[in-house]
Chain A
Amino acid sequence: MENLSSKYGKTLNLDKLTSYCPGCGHGTVTRLVAEAIENLGIMERTVSIVGIGCGGFSHHYMDIDAIEATHGRSPSFAIGYKLARPDNIVFTYAGDGDTCAIGLGDLLHAANKGMPITTIMVNNTVFGMTGGQMSPTTLEGQVTTTTVGGRQVPHQGYPLLVPEMMRAMPGVKYLARESVATPKAIRKAKKSIQKAFECQIKGLGYAFVEIIVPCPTGLKMKVKDSYARCGNEMTDYFQPQVFKDETEQNDVA
């Protein structure tokens, strides 16, 4: 008789109930990451380095070694890890707050170093775990607990476009933005996540995937409405696309 493990494999830990809020995009992204690891057959040599925030829970649902790094520092942790164990697969998984607020410096230098590590940045345009404060990716006019009148560009700047910043870096070999707004978008996200891991397996260089997701709790929206926002305002600004794909190069590992 088919059970869930025979369908999803061993990487995804199906024994645990997730602590993600109902409707949170992390659930989908976590599953896509686990499926990519499973499909590539790299589970036993893969290590997850997670950040602080809701993304920090992601490793609970995967049967792989995991390190919870300090806030924003997971790319530097990953660089140290990869240097010491180059044959292992190491990826960082964190939200927009961890990745591109406190961790932007570590992130951009990790990308620029071009070491073969993989970063999954889950962008819901808000600090979720701490209760809905402004993030660097908060959209213009978006109301948060720290932008009660909506984000004002003259005071708080523009929503940060992270892959656009990385595009010019030669060390970045796979660079994409995806979303989980629709089933079709999820299928594309799955492909990009898998490619980001393939990039590392081949030893090509740094791989980065930003995933646009809803946060019904942080945005105080109904799940349905938050998905509609994800597929409209969010992806209007954070446009899903594959910026760079050099994964078809010859295996240099």
Chain B
Amino acid sequence: MKNTEAFAESLARCGVKYHFAYPITPATDVMKRMAVILPNYGGEMMQMESELAVSSALAGAACTGKLVATSSSGPGLTLMHEAIGFMCAAELPCLMIDSMRVGPGDGDILGAQSDYYVATRGGAHGDYHTIVLAPSSGQEIADIVPQGIRLAYKYRTPVLFVIDGVSAQTTESTTLPDYYDYSAEFDTADWAFTGTQDHPKRALITGSYSHQDGFDMNEKLRAKYATIRENEQMWEQDQVEDAELVVAAFGIHGRMCRDLVFKMRAEGKKVGFIRPISLWPFPERAFTALPDSVKNILVVEMNHGQMIDDVRLSVNGRMPVHFLGKTGGDMPMNTLAEMIAEANRILGE
């Protein structure tokens, strides 16, 4: 099935009851599939009139403690940020999917990884983060959705899955999870806004009525984000132990790195790869732990260089960090041959 559909099936099978969305290429298949399957799980997909309304309805539903989700693409994610910032401040769990396309502006409907900055830095005001996970295949979507739900409820925070639009529309075999509501592992009774029949009045306030309130809220969030940074870095790596060159890429380019390393190792070249899976928190530990044999890092992205900033921050000047990236055109990404050519060029320097 299409990976957009793998997202929908995985969300529904893992306990998502309500999905709010607005049509946008290349994410629309998620909401279409949800509209068909969610009633079978006792839920509903509600199409809203704009992404502002989508994320606001998402926040309203998340207030009840139930597992809710949305799906969109770059221009939609831009509009959603008002309520994403709200949900981070209000500590509301939810799942979001961004099927990334070429930008800025309305950009192009072709796939890209152009939303790295807005996903990991945020598009709303204030000091906040969303957990950002970047699966690179249909199977990883199915495998990572339960993890995303657990993170969303454990830390009471929105979790954003980012996938480039090419991978999102790829059709491949995926083993889907059996039905299990992962959110049921978490008790929401102590915070959900369900009426005062079982608790005294609760008020969800993300603004501050005193300067101390605002300070306290922000310090609480800062401590939470520090815990997430410490405990939730995720990545895949291979052949870095004796590598001279490490290729770092996420999503589809990260997936291609396996072939790149296999081919170059077969030629006796000492190349390894790191594929970040969590983009926030960024897996800086993977880079700080690199052996001294690594003389260069090549970052490959479907954009003009966004994740490269986090790689550079992580290696902190220990070694040169090079970039190869492409976005748009008839082929909106670099080919494996281009990636290998650039790796060889760096090795030959």
Contact = CB atoms under 8 A, between A and B. Distances in A.
Interface of A: 43-47, 49, 52, 59-60, 63-70, 73, 76-85, 88, 105-106, 109
B201 A65 contact: yes
B253 interface: no
A65 B196 contact: yes
B196 A73 contact: no
B82 A84 contact: no
Nearest to B201: A63
B204 interface: yes
A182 to B, nearest CB: 33
B241 interface: no
A88 B205 CA distance: 20
A67 B50 CA distance: 21
A44 B197 CA distance: 5
A63 B53 contact: no
Interface residues of B, number: 38
Closest CB pairs A-B (n = 5):
A80-B60, A80-B57, A76-B56, A77-B60, A80-B61
Nearest to B50: A105
Interface stretch (B1-9, B41-49, B151-159): B41-49
Given A73-B82, A76-B48, A64 B58 contact: no
Interface in B28-66: 44, 46, 48-50, 52-54, 56-64, 66
A63 B53 CA distance: 28
B17 interface: yes
Given A79-B46, A85-B194, 18 more contacts: A44-B195, A44-B197, A47-B63, A63-B200, A65-B196, A65-B203, A68-B203, A69-B56, A69-B59, A73-B53, A73-B83, A76-B56, A77-B63, A79-B57, A80-B62, A83-B61, A84-B18, A109-B53
Contacts of A70: 56, 59, 82-83, 86
Nearest to A76: B56
B46 A83 contact: yes
26 contacts: A44-B195, A44-B197, A45-B197, A47-B195, A64-B201, A65-B193, A65-B194, A65-B203, A67-B63, A68-B207, A69-B59, A70-B59, A76-B52, A79-B57, A79-B60, A80-B56, A80-B58, A80-B61, A83-B18, A83-B44, A84-B18, A84-B61, A105-B49, A105-B50, A105-B52, A106-B56
B68 interface: yes
Contacts of A43: 196
B20 interface: yes
Contact of A81 (B53, B54, B64, B196): B64
A104 B290 CA distance: 54
A66 B201 CA distance: 8
Contact of A66 (B48, B59, B204, B207): B204
Contacts of A60: 203
Contact of A46 (B18, B50, B195): B195
Nearest to B203: A66
Interface string B178-203: 00000000000000011111001111
Q: Which of A46, A67, A82 has the most CB of B within 10 A?
A: A67
B174 interface: no
B206 interface: yes
B60 A81 contact: yes
B58 A88 contact: no
B56 A64 contact: no
A85 B205 contact: no
Contacts of B63: 47, 67, 77, 80-81
B49 A109 contact: yes
Nearest to A90: B60
A172 B153 CA distance: 36
Contacts of A77: 56-57, 59-60, 63
Q: Which of B17, B20, B48 has the most CB of A within 10 A?
A: B48
A14 to B, nearest CB: 14
A67 B49 CA distance: 22
A143 B68 CA distance: 45
A46 B197 CA distance: 10
A82 B57 CA distance: 9
Contacts of B201: 63-66
A76 B80 CA distance: 13
B294 to A, nearest CB: 46
B125 to A, nearest CB: 11
Interface string B1-25: 0000000000000000110100000
A83 B43 CA distance: 9
Contacts of B66: 84
A68 B206 contact: yes
A45 B158 CA distance: 26
